[in-house]
Structure 1
Amino acid sequence: MSTCTTLSRELTEPLAGTAPTARSWLLVEQAGPWGARALTESHFDPDLGRELQRRTAGTGVEIALIRRPGRHADRPPSGRREVYLAHTAPGRSWVRRATLHPEDLLDLDFAALGAGAHGSAGAAYDGDPLALVCTNGRRDRCCALLGRPLAAELAAAGHAQVWEVTHLGGHRFSPTMLVLPYGYAYGRLSAHTAKEVLEATHQGRTVPEWCRGRSYWSRPLQTAELAVRQQFGVDQADALVVEAGGPEAEETAVTVRHTDGRLWRASVRRTLLQPARQESCLKPAGNPTGYEVVALTAQAAR
């Protein structure tokens, strides 16, 4: 049976520049079944879900539901949920953890969270990297068929902070995984390469070969950063800072700076990918937007 992931692999569609975009993440535990739009189509209070969507709109905060791999009850018995807050700015990333009732989420300052200020919400988390594997089959069957076995394998291998997550975009790159605190998304993973990614993240590194981009950046900036990593062998997670020379256009000028003073200029072109393909098994074929680096030059170190 053909799937969106099968066609994407056959077309050797690039991973770079396909990560979800979010400066900060709010992850809320919710066991049980998830609908395609999980915040309003699950056991999570749909009115609360809609209000959280309203309050986070335009703040840079992305909300997702999470659950442990394997069988689980429909909802935590106490009504209290494990919650993670994360910010993904290079050199200023952090993760906070709390256990609270879902309605307490309305007390959060989402504009501040998006800007990187947690306001002492929760407690500092400095444990193993969070591994968030997309498994929501109601959004795309590939996420369930490929994501759930991966999450289960990672948990069985002893990675304590593995969670299933409702949505990371890029269904055709399944299985996909987001790692925090850095916010790098990965795709087309196997159990072996996912374990490699988690070990690298634990050491403060990235694995550019399977990387879709850092969620903190827009997609043209993700593409430029990964081009530098791949061509110049940069794998330290917080080594690069990226900025655009102007608003996104058909061709965007991007500057990539290394903490050691090196500097690169990139030109990133936005294209419509050919031939048409399904972005999801549930969508008709179309031409998704892609990004490619058409020029990359090293500048004199500063």
Structure 2
Amino acid sequence: MTSPQSITACPDVDLCAVFSKRSGENPIGSAPECDRYLIVEVPMPWGRNVLQSKNFPAALLPVLEQAAARSAKGRCLAIAPDPRYSKLGYRRILYFQRPAAQFAIYDKQEFWVPEDLVVPLVQALPTPAALAAFEPYRQLAPTRDFLVCAHAELDICCGRFSRPVYDALKTYPQPVRVWRTSHIGNHRLAPTLIDFPEGRYWGHLEPDTPHHLVQRDVPMTNLRAYYRGWAGLPPLAQIVEGEIFAQLGWSWCDYRQSGQVLSLDDATGDAQVQIDFTSPEGESGSYRATVAVGGTVMTLNNSGKGDFREVKQYRVSELERQSKTA
């Protein structure tokens, strides 16, 4: 196990992302499992809690509370207005939702509405009949949206390290878009982003990593150290999915999949995991594997606070693929 003392010679060691990366913390399995994302354009500055920021629509909070009561697997994120995509007096709303139990990409709905229609639109999202009134504001162009965590108010790492990633991605024309985004989780993995509509999380990014994510011009194995996981799966299943992704490469992103933890040993932390899949050609089957704790490393939860803790590191074994027969 890496100790805090063994890394203290590093400049900026009090920054959580620097400490995490130098300690060798593997980010796989750190993506929150999520069925739906509500993404609202909110002008900066943001407070530590973006939902309590002065520019966040206060009337939206009870709507979010009601949605959370119905299902815990939902997130609301803020994106900052961008001169390339935004217009004064309007707010962009992105809504990504799991389309089925087994899927490859989230369904996307996008609207660009006057500010006074943000809350009515969000209230209408779960009801197609109510949503019909907002059809004039619907945006239909397919896009690939990178949400780069830039929430410096929560942790300095997200502001300090996100800018090179954001700058690299904004060189790409549409349909690639990049947004400065509120906290997406685990700032010690900064710079970190979500790639939509797939919902894949990446962290500890290097200056050239964003280009490889857009172009997919290097083997997935070259990027394995940056992969946090796919939000369509629970964390332990993400660890197995990461192993499959590394073996099959980028073609794996086109497979519809679902996953579950079949068993979990509370004493050891070891688990049996199954990933079910359907290939683009229609082949269906499953992967089964054992996820075992392979040790721990020390990490730092927040910059400058000295709140060190041990985190488990996992390994995958006995990975087997089974195809279903007709």
Query: Does TM, normalized by the shorter one, top 0.5?
Result: yes
Partner of 1:50: 61
- Asked if the contact 1:176/1:186 (under 8 Å) is kept, the reply is yes
1:188 aligns with 2:227: no
- Residue pair 2:168, 2:211 contacting (<8 A) in 1 also: no
Question: Could you say which residue in structure 1 is the equivalent of 2:142?
Answer: 127
Distance (Å, rounded) in 1 between the aligned partners of 2:293 and 2:55: 39
Which structure shows the bigger proportion of residues in helix conformation?
2
Q: 2-side partners of 1:49 and 1:129: how far apart?
A: 26
Runs of 4+ in 1 over 3 A off after TM superposition: 68-72, 118-126, 156-160, 206-209, 231-235, 245-249, 260-263, 269-274, 288-291
Give the 3 Å change call, closer, same or farther, for CA 282–126 of structure 1 in structure 2. farther
Contact 1:244 1:252 in 2 (8 A): no
Counterpart secondary structure, 2:205 = coil
1:85 corresponds to 2:98: no
SS in 1 for 2:24: coil
Shift of 1:154: 1.8
Q: CA deviation at 1:9?
A: 1.2
Q: Give the Å deviation of 1:163.
A: 0.5
CA separation of 1:68 and 1:107: change in aligned 2, threshold 3 A:
closer
Structure number with higher relative contact order (C-alpha < 8 Å, ≥ 6 residues apart): 2
Determine the structure 2 residue equivalent to 1:4. 16
Partner of 1:13: 25
Map Cα deviations across residues 119-148 of structure 1 (whole Å, 9 max, x no partner).
777646442300100001011100000113
Residue in structure 1 matching 2:289, options 266, 274, 285: 266
Specify whether residues 6 and 92 from structure 1 end up closer, same or farther in structure 2 by C-alpha distance, changes over 3 A only: closer
- Structure 1: gaps (5+ residues): none
User: Does structure 2 retain, via aligned residues, the 8 Å contact 1:20–1:215?
Assistant: yes
Q: How does 1:232-243 map to 2 (within 5 A)?
A: 232-233=248-249, 235-239=251-255, 241-243=257-259
Indicate if the aligned counterparts of 2:294 and 2:315 stay in contact, CA closer than 8 A: no
Alignment coverage as a number of residue pairs: 288
**In the TM superposition, what are the counterparts of 1:1-302 in structure 2 within 5 Å?**
1-2=12-13, 3-45=15-57, 47-57=58-68, 58-68=71-81, 77-78=88-89, 80-88=90-98, 90-91=103-104, 93-100=106-113, 101-109=117-125, 123=138, 125-158=140-173, 160-200=176-216, 208-233=224-249, 235-239=251-255, 241-246=257-262, 249=266, 250-259=269-278, 260-261=283-284, 263-269=286-292, 273-275=296-298, 277-281=299-303, 283-287=305-309, 289-290=311-312, 292-302=314-324
2:94 corresponds to which letter in structure 1?
Answer: Y
- Gapped regions of structure 2 (runs ≥ 5): 1-11
Deviations 1:264-299 (A, max 9, x none): 211224688433x21221654243554523423214
Instruction: Provide TM-score, normalisation by structure 2.
Output: 0.76
Query: For 2:32, what is the secondary structure of its paired residue?
Result: coil
Deviation at 1:168, TM superposition (A): 1.0
- TM normalised by structure 1 equals 0.82
Q: Larger C-alpha radius of gyration, 1 or 2?
A: 2
1:220–1:291: 8 Å Cα contact kept in structure 2?
no
CA-to-aligned-CA distance 1:39-73 (integer Å, 9 cap, x gap): 1123113x33431431231342210010145899x
SS at match of 1:99: strand
Q: Could you tell me the percent identity over the aligned residues?
A: 19
